[in-house]
Structure formats: structure tokens, C-alpha cells
């Protein structure tokens, strides 16, 4: 039928209505009947007999009408709407199980949508830039070097050469970051500066949010200084004020005019301010004004259809010509390498996220089997309704369709609720994630792809939980169900349906055991990690870096004067108990290198961490003196070559000896400017250990020398407080400015917070997310077993009545019902434990400080699940024993 005639048809039907359609059908049948009758009469039958035969032959006109009507496509839609109406009525009537089912589905769909959103929007497609999927970083490879990569930074003129001479990239940008001092309201604040090349705005293809982007004329050598703001800085420091455009800010002592603000998803470099850097910036880095970067990263947009190898070959040819200009910066045989930016993001989060995806899939399966169990119980209870509908002429197909429509309605409700959960949950998950894993450019929200995912998952789970109960409901001889008036107490309830339901519950228990063991192992790892004695108390400790202006405070003497003054001022701040100077950071990286101890012969290289500290450092961190003495202010003042070593140092290099009085040389000093040459430090004391390389690493040997022995190195301060350390930050900052206005206190951070972000955040995230999945999974499984047991008990009422009438004791009945539940639970636990060994194998990289096959975890989880599931069985079982035989039998 042509489209036009179809439409004509449709409208004719609409006009004439279904009733007239059926009327036509009726008169067609009627005509048939009359013709047949007439034929029979013509053959010699008497009229009454002819009519009877004709009618017999025609059969049920209702069935024919129904079958003819089914050929129309409007009928399908009509049936669907009818089914939907009926489904909502059925679901509304069974309130308790509908609510349970929708909750289960919402949790399953919601959690999988959250993980999808985080994975898809946060990790796989974080960038909203033009051609984001073709953004590629460049680096130099050294094929002779086992690790491969040599450098990922370039002189700006190298990048310019790559940009001009390549044939495989649409464009290439160069960029670098460094710290800029932002002076305002009498204080200096450290900002992340981004040096960007003139093609940056077109490259990323993202228009500015306010004002204008950096344009070609901004990059002229004589152009007035301009700056473009990152949205985060605009938001936090300028409170989204659009009038900042055109205003001036002072960066590194120079007045810059703000020309534009970039949108939130432009987070190139993560810089606060973007400063134009001309392509012809001299490579010698002889910037007189301030510390401008000398090395730049390079990112390009691959042309469409270009492979990584083509790009690498293309760049390698250019690199060969650059090798002559920078012979020291290239290996003998250089290769250029590229990496897609999207792929670089996934990184070490991948393992956790893959496990997490597996976890939410398990959760979704639990939810689906839970709902399937509920529907199955319902379908059994409705078996008579289904039999009646079948007897009235509904085909099996029609019945399945109707039951699936109910499932679809459930899934739809679950999907809506799940999306609500995901919309809120995704924010929390992102907040709980270890910082720095998801790029700031990402927009982890419930966008179109996430919604599409949620809908697909809902449809898929409809089939998963809806199909088998529906098929089950129409199985067997429907007519016999009408005969057995007792209905549910017999075959329909206790037969294969019961087996299927039990299998579903066993699966839920098994799956929740998998989740619980995953969660248990993460919890144990996290516990092990957080209970490593660090050797110091990180509570109430503030760390901050001190940034000196370029070229100033370069000698040990000037640094000594500065810190002598500063530490006294900091100590005077109320709430501060100790303060000290150090090089590096506490627990997150110390200088380390080889040592020489006179009189000791050893074949392998001996090394140690060497901390360059002021005398109060030990008191500030709470390290205990074990032997000898600590460093003193007198040691500092005369830069004495004395050292305090850690117990690990003493045990390793002076086993069974007293190290005091021996001397040790930190070889690295020989290579550092303004440092003692060939200096042997006399060991004057032994001090308690600390986990200087973080709790996951073994305790390294450690030596401490007076900070005045060398002028080299960026310096930091560590402040021990009696009050929350964040509250003294401004006082410390003022103390610094009071000595020299040009010195800045940067990146102040409480030690505890610092450790939490860097060391504990990853394991904490695993623990929380797996824990949440496991708790929800267990809850669903418990609800599953409870409802199945409650239903089974309701089916058994009759049997229990007979048994009790025949003299069975209540204890006997309780044992019988509990035994039934215990068998299901046992099967689930065995299945779950078996599967857990597979899961534990996959978990090995995630687990720390505990075996992935940790017996305690396995046993605890198994026992806990058995106990909780038995309790969920016990309550309905108790109810079975309260059955009054007389009432139960009257049930018949």
C-alpha cells in the first residue's frame, strides 16, 4: 500500500471508527454464513440443518474478528496503550512489590548510570574542544633507552618548526606553566600562569565567555601586556564579575589588562591566567623581567585519517633537522612519539574504574533478578487471571506482550528514579574521587549520552527481568489452572516456578558475596594503609613553600638570615608550638642520593634521604631522639658539618655498632652550587624513623643536616600548631611579607589534608564505592530472600495446616521452612565464594597490605551473609508456625 493510501486508510478508519470496522467484519462473516447456508440448502439439506452446519464450519466469529483485527498496525499501538493502562493498574494495586521493584531498579540503573557518566564524560570524553578526539601530545623518544620516552618538552622554536613543516597535523600549539605572583590588597598570591602561543584560541575552538580571546596583535613584541582569565579564577577571585574586562591586575610586578574570560570547560594547562607568548620568544631564556618558562609542551590536532605511525614518521623527519641545533637535547637516534590526549587521561584510574564497572553490573544483575523474583511470585499468584484471559481468547503472544508491558512500565519508573539518583550521585562520586584524576575540562553531568545509556540499560533490564517470568507464566496447559480451584497451593506455586525463584535468590546471594568481598578487601587495604605508623603525627601540621624573587636569597647566608627571622616570627603566632625550615616535603619526597662512610667496604651503592632542616624540625614533627643529641641553633649558626641519622640508617649502615662519632658524606652535595665540597658530616645523634617515602614504601634510611650548610634548593616551612593549622595561614603569610614584601608564601597545605589527597584518596575512593555497591547489593539480596520466603510460606500455608493437623510440632515446621531457606542460602554462598576467587585475582593490583585471598575477609563475609539471610528467612518461617490448622485447611 502506498503511503498516501495508507494515510487515506488510516483516516477513513479513524472517521468510521473501530466499531464500524468491526461491523464491516461482522457483515462479511454474516454474508459468508448466508452463502454457505444457501449452498447447503441447494445441496438438499433442510434449512435448519444447513444453518447449523454452516455456523459450525465458520467457527467462532469472535476469534476470526480478533485475528483479522490483529493484522492492522493501529491495533498493535492500541494494544500497547491498553496494556500500559492495565499494567499501571496492576502495578498500582500491588503497591508493596511495585515500590520494591522500582527501588531495586532505580538503584541498579542509577548506580550504573553514575559510573557510566564518570567514565564516559570524565575519563573517556572529558574535552569539549574542537576535534578533541584527535588532540595529540608530542614527545621525543630514545629507542636505546628501555623506558622509551626521553622528553616531552621542547624549545619553542622546535615546536614552531614542527608546526610549519609537518604534513600530518592540522595545527600544533606550544604551552608552558609557571608560577606568577598576583599582588593585590597588600598580599602576594601565587597563581598558575599559562604561557600560550598565538594560535591557541583557534586551536581549541572555544570562544571566550566574556571579552575577547588572545588575538595576533597581543603577541607583538611591543604590544601592551594583556591577560586572559580562567573561569575558575574569575569565579573565585572576581566573583563572576563581567566588569573585570578591561581592568588591570599586577602579575609578577607588571600591570596586565584583562581582555577576556574563558568558559568553564576551557582548562588548558589548568592555568589561572593565560599570557601571550610569541613564537619567536628567544630560546636562550634570558628574560630579564621574571622567571618565564624555557621549555614548552606541544599538542597537535591530527589530520583526519592520519595514523600515529604516519604522524611519528612525519615528525621524526623534522626532528632530524632540529638535532643539529640542539645536539644535547636529542639521543643519537631520535624518534618522535605521539599520544592521544584522551588516552593519556585514563591512566591509573583505569583498573579501579573497570572493577567498579564490573561491580555496578553485578549490582544491576542483583536488582534484575530481584525484580524477576517479585514478578515471578506475582505471576504465580495471577496464574488464574492469566488462565481466564487465555480461555477468553488471548493468545500466548498477547499475554507475554502484556506481561512485558508491565515490566516496561516498571523499568520506566526505575529509569526515572535511577536518573534522579545518578544526577545527584555523580556529583558526590566526582567529589570523592582522588583529586587530579578527572580533568577540570570535563563536565560530569547527566547529559544526553548518559540519559541514552540509562534508557538502554532500562530496556535491557526489562528483557532481563521481565522475559523469563512472562514466559514462565504462560507455560504449560493454562486450562488446567482453571480446574484446580485451590489454585496457588498446588502445582503452579511449588513446581518449577519455585525452583526458578530459589535459583534467582541463590544468584542474588552469590552476587552480593562477590561485591562484599571486593568491598571487604578494599576496606582491609584502606585500614592497613591508614594504620601504618608514619613515625610522626600529621595532625595539626602546616606545610608551605617559600618563594623568593628570582636571583635573591641564593646563598646559604641570606637564607639563614631570612629564616632566623621568619621562624622566630612564626613561633610568636598564637597557636603555633614549633616551626622549622626544610627542603622538599614531609612524607611526599625528600632529596635522596648516594653516601660514603669512611672505613666501610660495600659493593652495592649506599644511599639515604637527606633532609636539610632547621633545629626545631624534630620537635615540629614529633620525632624522638634515641641516642646522642639533636641539631642545635649553634650548629645552624656556624653551619657545622654534623648530622642526625634515623634508626633505619643506623641499623642499615652500622649494624651492631654505635654510629655516633662516625662520619658520612652525602655525595650529591659535591654537584650542587653553594654546597660543601667533599664534606663529611659527623653523626651526633640517632632519631626515630618516619615513612618518608609514604606508607606504602619501606622506611628509608634518613639523615638530617643543618639547613645552613647549603644555599641550594627551594625552601619550605613546617609549622606545628595547637589549633587547626589552616587558621594560622594568614598569620604566617603576614610574617613572610613583614620581612620582605617580595617573598611569597605559596601553596600552604595542612599535612593531613596533603596526605589524604595524595596517598589515601585512591584507596578511600575504592573502599567507598565498592562498599556502597556491596551494601546496596546485600540490601537487595536480603529483600529478595525475604520476599521469596514470605511468598513460599504463603504457598505452604495449606501444607503446613495438614502437617500440623497430622501432629507435626511447631519446631518441626520451623525446621522445615528454615531448611528450605538454608538450602538456597547455602547454594548462593558456595557459588559466591567460588566466584570470589576469580574476583580476588582481578583485585590484586587494588589490594595493599593484605592478601587478595585474605581468609578473614572471605570467612567474615560468608558468615555475615549467612547470618543476615537466615534472619531474613526466619521471620517468614516464624509466621508459618503460627498457622492455625483449622484456618489453613478451610483455605481449601
Contact between 379 and 433 under an 8 Å Cβ cutoff? The reply is no
Residues forming a β-bridge with 594: 607
The DSSP secondary structure of 612-628, one letter per residue, reads EE-TTHHHHHTPPEEEE
In this complex, which beta carbon is closest to other proteins, that of residue 29 or of residue 679? 29
Segment contacting other proteins by CB under 8 A, of 308-316, 392-400, 678-686, 744-752:
392-400
Position 72 contacts other proteins (CB under 8 A): yes
Give the C-alpha separation, 858 to 516, whole Å: 9
In this complex, which beta carbon is closest to other proteins, that of residue 38 or of residue 805? 38
Segment contacting other proteins by CB under 8 A, of 391-399, 445-453, 630-638, 832-840:
391-399
Per CB under 8 A, the list member of 42, 43, 71, 807 interacting with other proteins is 71
Show the 3-state SS of 364-404: HHHHHHHHHHHHHHHHHHCHHHHHHHHHCCCCHHHHHHHHH
Contact between 620 and 580 under an 8 Å Cβ cutoff? The reply is yes
Position 37 contacts other proteins (CB under 8 A): no
Give the C-alpha separation, 112 to 100, whole Å: 18
Contact between 195 and 176 under an 8 Å Cβ cutoff? The reply is yes
Q: Rounded to the nearest 5°, which phi and psi values hold at 215?
A: -115, 170
In this complex, which beta carbon is closest to other proteins, that of residue 14 or of residue 841? 14
In this complex, which beta carbon is closest to other proteins, that of residue 70 or of residue 241? 70
Position 400 contacts other proteins (CB under 8 A): no
Position 752 contacts other proteins (CB under 8 A): no
Per CB under 8 A, the list member of 64, 132, 245, 790 interacting with other proteins is 64
Over the window 178 to 217, marking each residue x when it contacts other proteins by CB under 8 A and - when it does not, the resulting string is: ----------------------------------------
Q: Rounded to the nearest 5°, which phi and psi values hold at 436?
A: 85, 0
In this complex, which beta carbon is closest to other proteins, that of residue 36 or of residue 756? 36
In this complex, which beta carbon is closest to other proteins, that of residue 53 or of residue 264? 53
Shortest Å, Cβ 53 to other proteins: 13
In this complex, which beta carbon is closest to other proteins, that of residue 6 or of residue 741? 6
Helix (H, G, I), strand (E, B) or coil at 689: coil
Segment contacting other proteins by CB under 8 A, of 26-34, 534-542, 675-683, 706-714:
26-34
In this complex, which beta carbon is closest to other proteins, that of residue 60 or of residue 217? 60
Contact between 259 and 226 under an 8 Å Cβ cutoff? The reply is yes
Shortest Å, Cβ 470 to other proteins: 17
Position 67 contacts other proteins (CB under 8 A): yes
Give the C-alpha separation, 214 to 201, whole Å: 7
Q: Rounded to the nearest 5°, which phi and psi values hold at 510?
A: -60, -45
Position 1 contacts other proteins (CB under 8 A): yes
Give the C-alpha separation, 734 to 188, whole Å: 10
* Closest to 346 (Cα-Cα) out of 357, 354, 338, 355: 354
In this complex, which beta carbon is closest to other proteins, that of residue 286 or of residue 392? 392
Number of residues that bind other proteins (CB under 8 A): 33
Contact between 254 and 248 under an 8 Å Cβ cutoff? The reply is no
Shortest Å, Cβ 487 to other proteins: 22
Contact between 805 and 885 under an 8 Å Cβ cutoff? The reply is yes
Strands 702-706 and 607-613: parallel
Position 28 contacts other proteins (CB under 8 A): yes
Position 632 contacts other proteins (CB under 8 A): no
Position 58 contacts other proteins (CB under 8 A): yes
Please list, in sequence order, all residues whose beta carbon lies within 8 angstroms of the beta carbon of residue 619, skipping any fewer than 6 positions away.
578, 580, 720
Position 730 contacts other proteins (CB under 8 A): no
Position 350 contacts other proteins (CB under 8 A): no
Per CB under 8 A, the list member of 26, 46, 70, 658 interacting with other proteins is 70
Q: Residues 500, 501, 506, 512: what is their CA dihedral angle, to the nearest 10 degrees?
A: 130
Spacing of C-alpha 321 from chain mean position: 44
Position 15 contacts other proteins (CB under 8 A): no
Please list, in sequence order, all residues whose beta carbon lies within 8 angstroms of the beta carbon of residue 257, skipping any fewer than 6 positions away.
224, 225, 226, 227, 246, 247, 248
Give the C-alpha separation, 205 to 18, whole Å: 57
Position 24 contacts other proteins (CB under 8 A): yes
Position 480 contacts other proteins (CB under 8 A): no
Position 73 contacts other proteins (CB under 8 A): yes
Shortest Å, Cβ 59 to other proteins: 5
Per CB under 8 A, the list member of 23, 35, 307, 496 interacting with other proteins is 35
Give the C-alpha separation, 77 to 509, whole Å: 40
How far is the first Cα of the chain from the last one, in angstroms, to the nearest whole number? Answer: 57
Segment contacting other proteins by CB under 8 A, of 70-78, 511-519, 698-706, 795-803:
70-78
Please list, in sequence order, all residues whose beta carbon lies within 8 angstroms of the beta carbon of residue 853, skipping any fewer than 6 positions away.
837, 840
Helix (H, G, I), strand (E, B) or coil at 606: coil
Position 76 contacts other proteins (CB under 8 A): no
Give the C-alpha separation, 488 to 474, whole Å: 15
Q: Rounded to the nearest 5°, which phi and psi values hold at 782?
A: -65, -45
CB atoms within 10 A of CB 356: 23
Position 734 contacts other proteins (CB under 8 A): no
Segment contacting other proteins by CB under 8 A, of 23-31, 134-142, 216-224, 670-678:
23-31
Segment contacting other proteins by CB under 8 A, of 62-70, 116-124, 591-599, 745-753:
62-70
Position 2 contacts other proteins (CB under 8 A): yes
Shortest Å, Cβ 58 to other proteins: 5
Position 63 contacts other proteins (CB under 8 A): yes
In this complex, which beta carbon is closest to other proteins, that of residue 27 or of residue 809? 27
Segment contacting other proteins by CB under 8 A, of 24-32, 323-331, 563-571, 673-681:
24-32
Give the C-alpha separation, 496 to 473, whole Å: 11
Position 395 contacts other proteins (CB under 8 A): yes
Contact between 839 and 795 under an 8 Å Cβ cutoff? The reply is no
In this complex, which beta carbon is closest to other proteins, that of residue 32 or of residue 79? 32
Position 36 contacts other proteins (CB under 8 A): yes
Looking at residues 315 to 334 of the shown chain, list those that interact with other proteins (rule: CB under 8 A): none
Position 5 contacts other proteins (CB under 8 A): yes
Segment contacting other proteins by CB under 8 A, of 118-126, 388-396, 409-417, 485-493:
388-396
In this complex, which beta carbon is closest to other proteins, that of residue 84 or of residue 482? 482
Q: In which element (H, E) is residue 739 found?
A: helix 729-739
User: Residue 340 class from Cβ within 10 Å (0-12 exposed, 13-18 middle, 19+ buried)?
Assistant: middle
Shortest Å, Cβ 107 to other proteins: 39
Give the C-alpha separation, 47 to 226, whole Å: 106
Show the 3-state SS of 61-113: HHHHHHHHHCCCHHHHHHHHHHHHHHHHHHHHHCHHHHHHHHHHHHHHHHHHH
Per CB under 8 A, the list member of 205, 393, 435, 724 interacting with other proteins is 393
What's the DSSP call for residue 605? P
Looking at residues 254 to 293 of the shown chain, list those that interact with other proteins (rule: CB under 8 A): none
Position 479 contacts other proteins (CB under 8 A): no
Contact between 828 and 514 under an 8 Å Cβ cutoff? The reply is no
Shortest Å, Cβ 31 to other proteins: 5
In this complex, which beta carbon is closest to other proteins, that of residue 471 or of residue 660? 471
Position 394 contacts other proteins (CB under 8 A): yes
Per CB under 8 A, the list member of 32, 51, 79, 810 interacting with other proteins is 32
User: Which parts of this chain interact with other proteins (CB under 8 A)?
Assistant: 1-2, 5-6, 24-25, 27-29, 31-32, 34-36, 39, 57-60, 63-64, 67-73, 390, 393-396
Amino acid at each position: 500500500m502506498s503511503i498516501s493510501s495508507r494515510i487515506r486508510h488510516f483516516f477513513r478508519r479513524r472517521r468510521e471508527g473501530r466499531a464500524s470496522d468491526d461491523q464491516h467484519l461482522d457483515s462479511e462473516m454474516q454474508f459468508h454464513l448466508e452463502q454457505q447456508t444457501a449452498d447447503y440448502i441447494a445441496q438438499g439439506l433442510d434449512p435448519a440443518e444447513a444453518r447449523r452446519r454452516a455456523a459450525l464450519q465458520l467457527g467462532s466469529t469472535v476469534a476470526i474478528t480478533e485475528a483479522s483485527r490483529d493484522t492492522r498496525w493501529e491495533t498493535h499501538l492500541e494494544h500497547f496503550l491498553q496494556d500500559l493502562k492495565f499494567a499501571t493498574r496492576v502495578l498500582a494495586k500491588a503497591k508493596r512489590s511495585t515500590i520494591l521493584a522500582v527501588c531495586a531498579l532505580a538503584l541498579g540503573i542509577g548506580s550504573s548510570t553514575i559510573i557510566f557518566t564518570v567514565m564516559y564524560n570524565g575519563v573517556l570524553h572529558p574535552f569539549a574542544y574542537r576535534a578533541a578526539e584527535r588532540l595529540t601530545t608530542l614527545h621525543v623518544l630514545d629507542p636505546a633507552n628501555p623506558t622509551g620516552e626521553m622528553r616531552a618538552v621542547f624549545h619553542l622554536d622546535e615546536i614552531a618548526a614542527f608546526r610549519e613543516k609537518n604534513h600530518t597535523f592540522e595545527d600544533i600549539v606550544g604551552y608552558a606553566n609557571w608560577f606568577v605572583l598576583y599582588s593585590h590588597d597588600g598580599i602576594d598570591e601565587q597563581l598558575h600562569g599559562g604561557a600560550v602561543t598565538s594560535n591557541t584560541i583557534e586551536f581549541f575552538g572555544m570562544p571566550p565567555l566574556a571579552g575577547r580571546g588572545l588575538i595576533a596583535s597581543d603577541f607583538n613584541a611591543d604590544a601592551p601586556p594583556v591577560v586572559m582569565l580562567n573561569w575558575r579564577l574569575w569565579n573565585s577571585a572576581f566573583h563572576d564579575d563581567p566588569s573585570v574586562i578591561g581592568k588591570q591586575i599586577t602579575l609578577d610586578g607588571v600591570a596586565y589588562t584583562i581582555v577576556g574570560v574563558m568558559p568553564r570547560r576551557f582548562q588548558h594547562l589548568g592555568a589561572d591566567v593565560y599570557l601571550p607568548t610569541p613564537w619567536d620568544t628567544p630560546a636562550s631564556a634570558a628574560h630579564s623581567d621574571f622567571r618565564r618558562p624555557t621549555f614548552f609542551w606541544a599538542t597537535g590536532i591530527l589530520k583526519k585519517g592520519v595514523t600515529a605511525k604516519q604522524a611519528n614518521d612525519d615528525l621524526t623527519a623534522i626532528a632530524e633537522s632540529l638535532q643539529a641545533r640542539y645536539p644535547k637535547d636529542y639521543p643519537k637516534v631520535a624518534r618522535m612519539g605521539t599520544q592521544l590526549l584522551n588516552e593519556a587521561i585514563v591512566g591509573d584510574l583505569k583498573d579501579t574504574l573497570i572493577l567498579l564497572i564490573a561491580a555496578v553490573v553485578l549490582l544491576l544483575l542483583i536488582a534484575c533478578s530481584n525484580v524477576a523474583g517479585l514478578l515471578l511470585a506475582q505471576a504465580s499468584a495471577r496464574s488464574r487471571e492469566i488462565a481466564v484471559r487465555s480461555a477468553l481468547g488471548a493468545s500466548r503472544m498477547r499475554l507475554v506482550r502484556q506481561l512485558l508491558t508491565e515490566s516496561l512500565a516498571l523499568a520506566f519508573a526505575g529509569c526515572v528514579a535511577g536518573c534522579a539518583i545518578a544526577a545527584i550521585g555523580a556529583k558526590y562520586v566526582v567529589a570523592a574521587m582522588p583529586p587530579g584524576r578527572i580533568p577540570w575540562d570535563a563536565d560530569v553531568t547527566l547529559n544526553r549520552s548518559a540519559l541514552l545509556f540509562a534508557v538502554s540499560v532500562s530496556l535491557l533490564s526489562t528483557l532481563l527481568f521481565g522475559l523469563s517470568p512472562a514466559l514462565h507464566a504462560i507455560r504449560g496447559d493454562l486450562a488446567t489452572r482453571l480446574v484446580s480451584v485451590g489454585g496457588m497451593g498446588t502445582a503452579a506455586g511449588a513446581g518449577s516456578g519455585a525452583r526458578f525463584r530459589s535459583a534467582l535468590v541463590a544468584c542474588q546471594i552469590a552476587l552480593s558475596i562477590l561485591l562484599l568481598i571486593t568491598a571487604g578487601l578494599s576496606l582491609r587495604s584502606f585500614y592497613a594503609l591508614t594504620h601504618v605508623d608514619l613515625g610522626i603525627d600529621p595532625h595539626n601540621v602546616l606545610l608551605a613553600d617559600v618563594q623568593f624573587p628570582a636571583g635573591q636569597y641564593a646563598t646559604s647566608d641570606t637564607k639563614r638570615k631570612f629564616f632566623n627571622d621568619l621562624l622566630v616570627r612564626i613561633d610568636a603566632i598564637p597557636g603555633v608550638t614549633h616551626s622549622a625550615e626544610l627542603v622538599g616535603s614531609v612524607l611526599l619526597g625528600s632529596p635522596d642520593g648516594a653516601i660514603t662512610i669512611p672505613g666501610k667496604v660495600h659493593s652495592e651503592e649506599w644511599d639515604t634521604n637527606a633532609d636539610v632542616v632547621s633545629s626545631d624540625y624534630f620537635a615540629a614533627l614529633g620525632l624522638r631522639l634515641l641516642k646522642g643529641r639533636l641539631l642545635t641553633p649553634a650548629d645552624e649558626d656556624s653551619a657545622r658539618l654534623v648530622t642526625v641519622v634515623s634508626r633505619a640508617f643506623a641499623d642499615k649502615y652500622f649494624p651492631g655498632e654505635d654510629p655516633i662519632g662516625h662520619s658520612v658524606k652525602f655525595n650529591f652535595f659535591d654537584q650542587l652550587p653553594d654546597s660543601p665540597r667533599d664534606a663529611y658530616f659527623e653523626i651526633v645523634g640517632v632519631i626515630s624513623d618516619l615513612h618518608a617515602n609514604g606508607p606504602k614504601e619501606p622506611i628509608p634510611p634518613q639523615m638530617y643536616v643543618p639547613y645552613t650548610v647549603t644555599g641550594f634548593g627551594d625552601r619550605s616551612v613546617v609549622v606545628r600548631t595547637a589549633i587547626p593549622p589552616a587558621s594560622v595561614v594568614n598569620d604566617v603569610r603576614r610574617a613572610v611579607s613583614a620581612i620582605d614584601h617580595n617573598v611569597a608564601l605559596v601553596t600552604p597545605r595542612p599535612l593531613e589534608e596533603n596526605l589524604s589527597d595524595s596517598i589515601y584518596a585512591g584507596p578511600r575512593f575504592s573502599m567507598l564505592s565498592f562498599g556502597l555497591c556491596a551494601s546496596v547489593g546485600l540490601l537487595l539480596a536480603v529483600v529478595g530472600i525475604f520476599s521469596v520466603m514470605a511468598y513460599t510460606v504463603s504457598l505452604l500455608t495449606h501444607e503446613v495446616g495438614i502437617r500440623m493437623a497430622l501432629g507435626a510440632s511447631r519446631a518441626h515446621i520451623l525446621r522445615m521452612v528454615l531448611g528450605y531457606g538454608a538450602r538456597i542460602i547455602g547454594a548462593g554462598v558456595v557459588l559466591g565464594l567460588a566466584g570470589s576467587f576469580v574476583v580476588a585475582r582481578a583485585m590484586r593490583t587494588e589490594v595493599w597490605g593484605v592478601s587478595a585471598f585474605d581468609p578473614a575477609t572471605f570467612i567474615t563475609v560468608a558468615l555475615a551473609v549467612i547470618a543476615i539471610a537466615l534472619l531474613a528467612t526466619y521471620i517468614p518461617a516464624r509466621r508459618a508456625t503460627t498457622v492455625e490448622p483449622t484456618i489453613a485447611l478451610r483455605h481449601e
